[in-house]
Structure 1
Amino acid sequence: MIKAPPSPAVRMLDSMSETPLAFMIATFVVLAVFFVVDLFVVGRKPHVPSTKECLQHIAFFVVMALIFGGLLWFFAGAKPAVEFYSGWLTEYSLSIDNLFVFVIIMANFAVPRELQKYVLSIGITVALVLRGLFILIGAAIISRFTWVFFIFGAFLIFTAVKLVMGEDDDEEYHENVVIRALRKVVRITDDFDGEKLRTVKDGRRFWTPMLIVFLTIGTTDVMFAFDSIPAIFGLTKDPFIVFTSNVFALLGLQQLYFLLGALLDKLVYLPAGLAVVLGFIGVKLVMEALSGNSLPFINGGHPIEQVPEVPTWLSLAVIVVAIGGSALASVLKMRSEPDAQAKLTK
């Protein structure tokens, strides 16, 4: 029996990863099961999850991520495991920050609360597909053109500066050009009809606002990918670790949305923590690019041979301290406010 040759994506993963192929395949199968159950079995029933349900789901996926990192350490070594933990924490933190935008979108389109879980499940699915494509493209580019790290690094440093300056704070949602153009060419009702995209009103067929919500979430996810993919490639070049970090960051995100929905605006220091992480990774990427490429205005146009290498453990330490410190500072500030105390006890 002649075996079919592996696909180009599988060959690239196998060549760029330190993880055994059998372990990668088993991981993809388990993650696919997790993803389907989380979004299309548990998440299929339109309802507002209770605090207990949210905590159980989030705790389960956090524990699974920790266990996966331990298995990765056993099968592939300490370096890939530390890279995974670093990438997962970074992507999870970025996902929490992105929940601010989801809250604004849901409020702007007045999505009924019992339908928000369904909308999030579709949005997260779109995010996973887009990130998977971006990871494959990014890995292919990086393997051939290491100078792209200059662009990634500069973009992350620019994003960090915007976070520090507060220019990334969205007080309200503004429809992009795609959504505005769509409104001009199709009939859209003002009211939702459950999960339906199409409905009948006065004998005529209309699109419901659900179509606009899905397109808005999808186009927003593209912008999220521009932040997250360069950040994770600054911590590891292994596409398997990049992908699994993103998947574990997305699992349980809809429960996190409901758990933190009323308190997201209280995490006032999270952008500062993210700015430190993104700025650190941006500098790390530029340093890596300098070690293997040349610029006409640096070192006489010759590559710098003695650029210090940032160890993986240091990246993890910076991420833990920055994100953990910003979260703790936000909680302490929240507890010092009487109105926040009332929200926490509800």
Structure 2
Amino acid sequence: MDVPALIWWLTVLGIAGLLLFDYVFHVRKAHIPTLREAAVWSAAYVGIAIVFGLGVWVFGGGDMGAEYFAGYVTEKALSVDNLFVFLIIIASFRVPRADQQKVLLFGITFALVARTGFIFLGATLINTFAWVFYIFGLILLFTAGHLVRPESEESHRGDNFVVRLARRFLPTSEHYDGDKLTTVENGRRVLTPMLLVMVSIAGTDLLFALDSIPAIFGLTQNVYLVFTATAFSLLGLRQLYFLIDGLLDRLIYLSYGLAAILGFIGVKLFLHALHENNVPFINDGEPVPVVEIPTGLSLIVIVTLLVITVVASLASTKGRAQNMSSATRRYATRLLDEECSPEECAYFYRRLQDEEEELRRLPEKYRAKIREDEQLMDMLRRVHEKYGPEEAHRPR
């Protein structure tokens, strides 16, 4: 179904208005969002996306509605996985918590602009070359295989190639100056880490688009649905970050669930490519009579895989232990940073104490594994020497 130009313009203006609202009312003044604020605005953005999808279902028909929701759910799941990488980058740059909102909103805006370009490029390729579906399918299968391989945090550190070049050839500072992108040190203008972390987030966003865009084109080739599902999955991501900050590490099976989803969509793309085949060396350039996977079934499979993944992760004691260990390390790292403000230090120390109290309740085999982490134990010792009595809080 062709979407009228007026609907396109109204949609783009509406999405731009939501972004502008965030910039003006949420991140202009640096602050740490409360859990209630993050929950309310996360629910609001999800609600907007659902209402929009219902509108698509009513005015565009059941097929369009199913395609939108399948695309939205898939893109939202991929966005949550991306949040974990953002968390690592932000931690590696030691971004003050009050300024993290601006970094995230910049990343979301850049991702939306970059992915819009990829969407129209992908649509042009699809309309011109039917064999592009084979390429998209291969990309998704490769990404699925990559997701099931164990990755270390080092692979997502913020000091990527562009950041290293900037630090080498441009004057940079090691210290933040609020949320300013440049500052004056020793009489000369230099870049702050705030600009560098934004560059790192932007570079990461481009890599994410390589699997995100083929995935949604595997569910619908309607450019309007691809654009809106992608946009609404990104809107509200900043609030979601602060809402599930403490749960990100807990989702230990998320990568497996995403791998299954991307693999499923990859197979769907291959079946569609065979159905539309015009590649000379496959069936003499003639379409192959294969069964295609309907969108409704795709939506059911995607939602089922996500539910199983999340429930299994939250029910896992191993996931709970990993979440606590990672959170404890992040809080300890921030508390040992000389630039930690008194307000931030008080906040992180309270969170550290809560995590250590939870660690005590873990089964002995998990506590023993954490005690074997000499680096973490040394960090905790130094934190408690600096902020409070070690023996009162250290996991036993």
Same fold (TM over 0.5): yes
Inter-CA distance 169–287: structure 2 relative to 1 (3 Å threshold) = farther
Q: 3-state SS of the aligned residue for 1:206?
A: strand
* 1:64 Cα deviation from its structure 2 partner: 1.2
Aligned to 2:351: none
**Identity over aligned pairs, percent:** 45
* 1:54 Cα deviation from its structure 2 partner: 0.7
After superposition, where does 1:65-214 map in structure 2 within 5 Å?
65-167=49-151, 172-173=156-157, 175-214=159-198
Question: Normalising by structure 2, what TM-score?
Answer: 0.78
C-alpha distance in 1 between matches for 2:272 and 2:229: 21
One-letter amino acid matched to 1:71: G
C-alpha distance in 2 between matches for 1:282 and 1:170: 28
For structure 2, the residue ranges without an aligned partner over 5 or more in a row are 325-353, 359-396
For structure 1, the residue ranges without an aligned partner over 5 or more in a row are 1-16
* 1:303 Cα deviation from its structure 2 partner: 2.4
After superposition, where does 1:225-304 map in structure 2 within 5 Å?
225-295=209-279, 298-299=282-283, 301-304=284-287
Mean Cα deviation higher: 262-271 or 37-46: 37-46
* 1:33 Cα deviation from its structure 2 partner: 1.8
Aligned to 1:7: none
Q: CA offsets, 1:49-88, max 9 Å, x none?
A: 1111111011111111111111111111111111110000
C-alpha distance in 2 between matches for 1:176 and 1:313: 40
Pick the aligned partner of 1:322 from 294, 301, 305: 305
* 1:340 Cα deviation from its structure 2 partner: 6.4
C-alpha distance in 2 between matches for 1:220 and 1:77: 36
Question: Normalising by structure 1, what TM-score?
Answer: 0.88
One-letter amino acid matched to 2:41: H
Q: Is the 8 A contact 2:130 2:278 kept in 1?
A: no
C-alpha distance in 1 between matches for 2:23 and 2:168: 32
Count of residues in Structure 1 that have an aligned counterpart in Structure 2? 328
Q: 3-state SS of the aligned residue for 2:189?
A: strand
C-alpha distance in 1 between matches for 2:112 and 2:185: 35
Aligned to 2:291: 308
Aligned to 2:328: none
Inter-CA distance 293–184: structure 2 relative to 1 (3 Å threshold) = same
Q: Is the 8 A contact 1:19 1:75 kept in 2?
A: no
C-alpha distance in 1 between matches for 2:51 and 2:102: 28
Inter-CA distance 226–172: structure 2 relative to 1 (3 Å threshold) = closer
Give the superposed CA RMSD.
Answer: 2.3
Asked which structure has the greater RCO (Cα within 8 Å, sep 6+), the reply is 1
Q: Is the 8 A contact 2:250 2:322 kept in 1?
A: no
Q: Is the 8 A contact 2:71 2:216 kept in 1?
A: yes
* 1:268 Cα deviation from its structure 2 partner: 0.6
C-alpha distance in 1 between matches for 2:276 and 2:144: 25
Q: CA offsets, 1:249-297, max 9 Å, x none?
A: 1111111111222221110111111011100111111111112224565
C-alpha distance in 2 between matches for 1:48 and 1:312: 40
* 1:337 Cα deviation from its structure 2 partner: 4.5
Aligned to 1:52: 36
One-letter amino acid matched to 2:231: V
Inter-CA distance 336–263: structure 2 relative to 1 (3 Å threshold) = closer
* 1:41 Cα deviation from its structure 2 partner: 2.3
After superposition, where does 1:15-54 map in structure 2 within 5 Å?
17-54=1-38
